[in-house]
Amino acid sequence: MAAILEDGKLRLSGYVGDYYFSDGFTSSDVVVALASIDDGDDLTVHINSGGGVATEGAAIHALLSARKGVTDVVIEGIAASAASLIAMAGATVTMSAGAVMMIHDPSGYTFGTSDDHSKTIEGLEALATAYARVYAQKSGKTAEECREIMKDERWLTPEQAVAEGFADETTEAKALAVAAFDYRLYAHAPKRLTALAVKKDWSAAPADRKAAPSAASTRQPQETSMTEKTKADEMTAAVAQAKADAAARIKAIMTSPEANGREQQAEHLAYETDMAADAAVKILATAPQGAAAADEPAADDDTPDPKTYEASRIAGAGLGGKTKTQQPQASGSLVANMRKLLGKEAV
């Protein structure tokens, strides 16, 4: 948790929201911190954040704005993206010397149908409209003017932030070091910040890969973020697609009419090879039906002739023409493992 309350000062630093990064703060963290003081007490909020989840930023802004006491904001280092919205909750917003404020449109991503993408667009437009109204209320501009600033992605020095109405004053005090964040994710980030991200190796990749899945599982499927999707999201999507493709291929082979009476060979082609479904079905169509497994002992327990066994094994694998022979039996453990990998129980 990076929401620390001490001596009437609430310090918010790191990523906005519960995400892959190891250091950050959520609306829940802010609720806990505010519970330690009276709602009517004066409070100074110090912000040093590169941004994060849009909805978390909106929630924290609402919490600070609802306080009965006077809430002032001091931007130390940077208040970008969702963090800049939080800053708008200040009765006065003070930019430390050398600090930066960034305002832009929220972004997000969707995996799914065209309707799914349309819903994401609808959500982003609603969120951007709400953000523009907050910026307008602080700056005295119209919501339309603020929306244009958001679309342009503006990076403001202390003097520029004051001139635009998003801050009230600056201080000659030296700013804290800029918060760690992969500023390369933003389209128009100042070169000094992108260079700093490269130098410090501030990557958007998960800091702790083992913890990433549990963090991701707590998020909504289409949660809107103020950053582009990470490589981890792309990898997760690729794995899910590969799994779906494999399941579809196996289903196409095992449920084909050609698999009737040739179940063992169908399982072999489905689970022990990566052969395309149409190619596997063609092989099944030429194979004999109802043959016993190649490793099944004869009824009188006599050991089969080696040459006969070999010919039977080859033909059963679909390599020996249309001779009526025995079929190979797929490895039970391998089939079971493949079913488990694809999320299916062995039957």
- Put residue 174 in one of left, alpha, beta given phi > 0 → left and psi -120 to 50 → alpha: beta
pLDDT value of residue 346 = 44
> In angstroms, rounded to a whole number, what is the distance separating the alpha carbons of residues 59 and 303?
76
Residue 333 pLDDT exceeds 60: no
Q: What is the pLDDT of residue 16?
A: 92
- Answer whether residue 209 shows pLDDT above 50: no
**Closest Cα to residue 135, out of 117, 122, 149, 152?**
149
Handedness of CA 218, 222, 226, 230 (dihedral sign): positive
Of 4-8, 124-128, 185-189, 312-316, minimum mean pLDDT range: 312-316
Does position 203 have pLDDT exceeding 60, yes or no?
A: yes
- Quickly state the pLDDT bin for 218 (edges 50, 70, 90): very low
Q: Which of 56-60, 106-110, 172-176, 318-322 shows the lowest mean pLDDT across its residues?
A: 318-322
Task: Answer yes or no: is pLDDT of 208 > 80.
Answer: no
pLDDT in tens, 254-303: 898 888 888 888 888 888 787 888 888 888 888 777 644 444 444 444 44
pLDDT at 202: 77
Interval 22-34 mean pLDDT: 90
Identify any residues that bridge with 327 across adjacent strands, giving them in sequence order: 293
pLDDT tens digits, residue range 125-154? Answer: 999 999 999 999 999 899 999 999 999 999
Give residue 211's pLDDT: 37
**155 vs 187: CA distance, rounded Å:** 11
Q: Where are the alpha helices (DSSP H) in the chain?
A: 27-34, 54-65, 82-87, 114-139, 143-152, 158-164, 191-200, 212-217, 231-254, 263-271, 277-286, 306-316, 332-341
Residues making up the chain, counted from first to last:
347
- Lookup result for tokens 């919490």: 63
> What global pTM score does this model have?
0.54
Checking if the pLDDT of 212 tops 50, the result is no
Paired residues of 155 in beta bridges: 102
**Backbone φ and ψ of 293, nearest 5°:** -65, 150
Handedness of CA 124, 126, 130, 136 (dihedral sign): positive
Mean pLDDT lowest among 17-26, 116-125, 245-254, 297-306? 297-306
Given this model, what pLDDT does residue 188 score?
79
**pLDDT tens column, 302-312:** 445 555 555 55
User: At residue 172, does pLDDT exceed 80?
Assistant: no
pLDDT over 90 for what percent of the chain?
39
Structural domains of the chain, ranges and CATH numbers in brackets: 3-229 (3.90.226.10), 237-341 (no CATH)
> Residue 247 pairs with which residues in a beta bridge?
none
* pLDDT tens track for 86-116: 999 999 999 998 899 999 999 888 888 999 8
The mean pLDDT of the chain is 77
286-290-292 Cα angle (round to 5): 110
Contact predicate 266/284, CB 8 Å: yes
